[in-house]
Amino acid sequence: MSEIIRRTGSCLCGGVQFTVTGAPLRIGLCHCKDCRKAGGSVYSAYAIWPREAFEVTGIVSTYGTRSFCPTCGGRVAFLGEDEAEVTIGSLDVAPTDDLVPEYELWTSRRETWLHALPGAEQFEHDRPTANNTQLAEPRPLSDAVAGS
Ligand SMILES: [Zn+2]
Ligand SMILES: [Zn+2]
């Protein structure tokens, strides 16, 4: 079973369609202010793919690196230079079964009626190894070459 998984997703109205191919690099939950404000929910569950694994069709509006449908406001992806962060809820199939968050960020802002996700690494703020507070450009640890 070495078939490459291809997942489809869309905004609420269907005006924007996208696909992600292959396995995600990592999967997380985030309770930070930006994730709450951008989605309107109390946290965001997302999976991150290499930028080249993400393809989108339709008209997309952007705010910083966040993209969304101008018609319905549905979030499409958070596009960094190297990575595409896709909200799990924007994928077409639910439940996704295999997309289980491995870590949880900004637990200091987690609603008191939510519990820590069992098995997920917990961070009070951002992941110390990731520079993902804004205009995310996380580098793989193996990539020691400074781009300049
Ligand atoms: Zn839409
Ligand atoms: Zn966040």
Q: Ligand 2 centroid vs 110 CA: distance in angstroms?
A: 11
CATH number of the domain to which 79 belongs? 2.170.150.70
Number of domains in the chain: 1
- Residue 8 CB contacts under 8 Å (≥ 6 apart), including other chains: 17, 18, 19, 91, 92, 93
What is the predicted pLDDT for the residue at 129?
Answer: 65
Q: Ligand 1 centroid vs 21 CA: distance in angstroms?
A: 21
Domain that holds residue 110: 6-122
What is the predicted pLDDT for the residue at 135?
Answer: 42
Ordered mean pLDDT values, 10 residues apiece, the chain (148 residues) = 87 97 97 93 96 97 93 94 96 94 97 96 86 46 44
Q: Ligand 2 centroid vs 21 CA: distance in angstroms?
A: 23
Q: Ligand 1 centroid vs 77 CA: distance in angstroms?
A: 13
Residue 140 maps to a domain: no
Residue 1 maps to a domain: no
What is the predicted pLDDT for the residue at 146?
Answer: 45
Please give the Cα distance from 65 to 78 (Å, whole number): 5
